[in-house]
Structure 1
């Protein structure tokens, strides 16, 4: 059984894909960025007069991306604690890892999801962070 998830509470995907897809008890979230679901803006981005990105606030982007992941999970009938695997993409590992890691520890307290953090050169839109998540829905995710 497979179900496509489109969330009304999360920002629109930037391409032709759903927010998530559920296959059995596994929920696969598409890459989730920090855009605002209200107006598609990117929290903390600062642009010059020509529209070029000149600065960003990684803390604001982290908080928004975590809120967006939560919105997609809830739209699919899942919860934060159902997360079992999180892949994080940062465009500036050197500058942003410490802040992101502190906030991750805050938001993921008590969630024992596996995690991989990758430094990459760019994302499809002017964002500094994106998450790719897998959740186990309707199962016990406790330890063996």
Structure 2
């Protein structure tokens, strides 16, 4: 992921501090599923250590890994956009330590402070745009006759 989509690069320090005040520390073992496609998106995470793979269900095949996320990156975007349902799945591919956020509490903070809400929306939007591009490239690599053509 590009540095402009990590929390440190995307939000000013004041907003990062306000967001961090809502966080709780969590950890996941290798192979733990953080969320599944189609289920309710009620939280999100910022990775402190470890890696998480985003994957997509492909009928008749193993899940396609779309992207691997690491330090400082946002895991989960669907919490921000209605109907708040996960569009991808996520699995810890190494031991993970992260900050976990309750989506409802963050959305309430965004509603209470429009400038903060705008900054969070821009950050999540940048992440979504990046992930859409990564998904397209990965699916072309997996299923197009000649891949994405980026090689």
Q: Please identify which structure carries the higher helix content.
A: 2
TM-score category of the 2 structures, normalised to the smaller one: under 0.3
User: What TM-score comes out, normalization by structure 2 length?
Assistant: 0.23
